[in-house]
Amino acid sequence: MSEIVRSENLRPSRVPRYVGYGLALVCLAWVVRYFHFVRFVRELADVDWKWVLVGMSFDVLSYVVQGLRWKFLLTPFGRVRLTRSIRAVFAGLFTNLIFPLRPGEFLRSYLLSKSDDITLGRVLGSVGVERLVDLVIATASLAVVSLLVDLPRRFQRAADLLGVITLVLVTILVLLIFYLEIKLGSNPEPTMARHRLPGKVMGALIDLHSMGTAPSFYAAVFASILIPFCQVLGLWAMMRSYGLRLPFLAAVVVLLVINLGVSLPNAPANVGAYQLFCVVGLSVFDIDRTGAANFSTFAWFALNLPFALLGFAALVRSGLSFRSMREKVAGLPRQTLKPSTQS
């Protein structure tokens, strides 16, 4: 009976999924109001496909670099093959294209944990570190851009709020690492701290300390800077291909707005949210809403196409079928949250 109750408690709620689909429908309904099909077809005829290929290449390269960063973060726990980390990243991207709420983060962690014999908890912890580093870089980029571009007041308020949140998180992280540096420096086996914190919590903090103080962490931070740089180049090339003669900083602003927007619960492939926040970002530079809605649709298709092909190939190479992928996506969050039966 207790097992039945436990399984019921671990069953994922459908509310986030419904919220994601609801937000996607609202976003799409707003964008469709300004989408003009006839004008879109005319604009497609004038697209410079050489720039499209350049944009696709830089966007794909950004996720290759993400695989390299992942390898650097996991270096303290074992030798990770770059080809496997890249393959897991693309398999996760493909999963995010067909399932809501980005379960690809769990799937790619599972694939790398299985292939390189690193515990799933450590791999998931590295994904959390990735997100924190990305948040710091996005906040710093937004602060620099706000000095160079005259952003609307609502963007300034969002930048201030994001800066405060990031500062608090980074401060907590630094204090935790500093605390563990003192504890581990005087006692390599932190048994004294274990009676104050649960074993899993202390283990996670020690893993965080290992990643944050390893020499490979600096290489991971450098790779983290290259990732958004490649993505900005990809988006800027897409703008060039579509005839939007905007400066490089415009691509930085639009990408930041898109990334902040799609961080909310959303539908597969960020459909709806991507288009809406792309239009919002372009509105800063006085692009008419019809032109912005048409471009957002074009960019969404063009930038997702490589990941549909490469991600599917990576998934097959990983030995998963669509059925097994669905089962893993449904079971991994529950497996992660399942309490240990060991004392």
pLDDT digits (tens, 9 = 90+) for 316-334: 888 887 777 777 777 766 6
Domain ranges of the chain: 48-336
pTM, whole model, 2 decimals?
A: 0.86
Interval 24-44 mean pLDDT: 93
pLDDT digits (tens, 9 = 90+) for 107-123: 999 999 998 889 988 99
Q: Are 235 and 55 in contact (CB under 8 A)?
A: yes
Name the most confidently modeled range: 56-65, 72-81, 202-211: 56-65
Buried b (16+ CB within 10 A) or exposed e, 179-215: ebeebbeeeeebeebeeeeeeeebbbbebbbbbbebe
Query: Is pLDDT larger for residue 124 or for residue 19?
Result: 124
Q: What are phi and psi of 192, to 5 degrees?
A: -65, -35
Closest Cα to residue 211, out of 108, 136, 111, 133? 133
